[in-house]
Amino acid sequence: MGGLAMTYTYQHPHPAVTVDAVVFGFDDADLKLLLIQRKLAPFKGAWALPGGFVRLDENLEAAARRELMDETGITRLYLEQLYTFGEADRDPRERVISVAYYALVKLSDHALQAASDAENVAWFPVAELPKLGFDHERIVEIALKRLKAKVRYEPIGFELLPVKFTLGELQRLYEAVLEQPLDKRNFRKKILGMELLEALDEYQQDVAHRAAQYYRFNRQRYEQLAKRGFNFEL
């Protein structure tokens, strides 16, 4: 074609595409969800997931990361595609298909800053979410199911913790995500038996109880074991 770009004109209308991000964090007690308060209609003033329309010159993940940076100030996080939502009436403005992502962040690593079309941005305990705009409650429900399933067979839970953590903090994370108590002895025996944690020569300071030892997750060792067929399962 002589290197000339062809221009196509479609006879049929086609939908807009958006991305939405379900961002989870953990604060040593609660599993939390990052929400923005919308500045613009529709659902002006309502809380919703960060997200927005995909630009013609960017891929989906790039769009999700851009919207997160623009609306919340978050730039570095574990991000994975979740599900595609395409009900015809999910957006009152026009026919919109949304590709949802879920993300895991360490709360201590991120200072929130509302920008773009977000009036406010805040963390909410998953058990105490406000009413959400659009179909975002359904998106959150599906993201929670995915997270609960995946933390059992992949070590993604470590994305929610600081670099160094105690075994107690690790257990509280899993109990918060799975929404069930775990036997302390069995949990520690299983997680230490995987030999994926490095014991550090550091202990908690200024605590009323016996100071707990700190550990860190050895990602390099996990990746090496995974290549040999290692199965992470809690």
CATH code of the domain in which 205 resides: 1.10.10.10
CB 42, CB 35: distance < 8 Å:
no
Query: In CATH, what number is assigned to the domain containing residue 106?
Result: 3.90.79.10
Structurally, how many domains does the chain consist of? 2
pLDDT in tens, 124-156: 999 999 999 999 999 999 999 999 999 999 999
Alpha-carbon span 27 to 172, nearest angstrom: 10
Answer yes or no: is pLDDT of 58 > 50. yes
The whole-number average pLDDT for the span 182-201 is 96
**Residues 78 and 178 placed together within one structural domain of the fold:** no
Burial readout 168-206 (b: 16 or more C-beta within 10 A, e: otherwise):
ebbbbbbebbbeeeeeeeebeeebeebebbeeeeeeeee
Residue 233, in any domain of the structure: no
Tokens at residue 112, please?
């929130």
108 is in which domain, residue-wise?
16-151
Q: Which range has the worst mean pLDDT, 3-12, 30-39, 190-199?
A: 3-12
pLDDT grade for 1, boundaries at 50, 70 and 90: very low
pTM above 0.75, yes or no: yes
**Residues 47 and 69 placed together within one structural domain of the fold:** yes
Answer yes or no: is pLDDT of 54 > 80. yes
CA pseudo-torsion sign 65, 66, 71, 75: positive
Give percent above pLDDT 70 in the chain.
Answer: 96
Alpha-carbon span 211 to 64, nearest angstrom: 41
Answer yes or no: is pLDDT of 12 > 90. no
Q: Which range has the worst mean pLDDT, 109-113, 176-180, 182-186, 191-195?
A: 109-113
Task: Specify the 3-state DSSP secondary structure of 26.
Answer: strand
